[in-house]
């Protein structure tokens, strides 16, 4: 049972462009929404996270937009760079554990 749906599965963006990854969740008990970044051969690492009491959180070039009524949240990467090429996972948490999306492979081309 997939409780967090993530799209697209893969994404190619030109350097300097905006990368957008979307996630939707079903369980209204979720109250914590982190994004993890994974480089090849490495484990995922926390990138940015948001609580449902705010609609947006920005850290540098990375922004999370959150729509509680629609049960959707998204990651925006502004001025995308080749070094941003990685797999991105959204997740939703409530209680003791996180439920992850299936991941998005982002490639930023020169």
Partner 1 sequence: DAGVIQSPRHEVTEMGQEVTLRCKPISGHNSLFWYRQTMMRGLELLIYFNNNVPIDDSGMPEDRFSAKMPNASFSTLKIQPSEPRDSAVYFCASTWGGGSYNEQFFGPGTRLTVL
Please say which residue, 38 or 85, places its beta carbon nearer to partner 1: 38
Minimum distance from residue 87 beta carbon to partner 1 (Å): 9
Q: Phi, psi (5° rounding) for residue 9?
A: -75, -35
Minimum distance from residue 1 beta carbon to partner 1 (Å): 11
Please say which residue, 80 or 101, places its beta carbon nearer to partner 1: 101
**Cα Rg for the chain, rounded, in angstroms?**
13
Contact 15, 110 (CB under 8 A): yes
Please say which residue, 17 or 32, places its beta carbon nearer to partner 1: 32
- Residues within the interface to partner 1 (CB under 8 A): 6, 32, 34, 41-46, 89, 93-103
């Amino acid at each position: 049972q997939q409780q967090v749906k993530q799209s697209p599965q893969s994404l190619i963006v030109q350097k300097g462009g905006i990368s957008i990854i979307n996630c939707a969740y079903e369980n209204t008990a979720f109250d914590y929404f982190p994004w993890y970044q994974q480089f090849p051969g490495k484990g995922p690492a926390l990138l940015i996270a948001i609580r449902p009491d705010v609609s947006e959180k920005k850290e540098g070039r990375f922004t999370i937009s959150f729509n509680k009524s629609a049960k959707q949240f998204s990651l925006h990467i502004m001025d995308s760079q080749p070094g941003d090429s990685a797999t991105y996972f959204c997740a939703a948490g409530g209680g003791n554990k996180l439920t992850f999306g299936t991941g998005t492979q982002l490639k930023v081309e020169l």
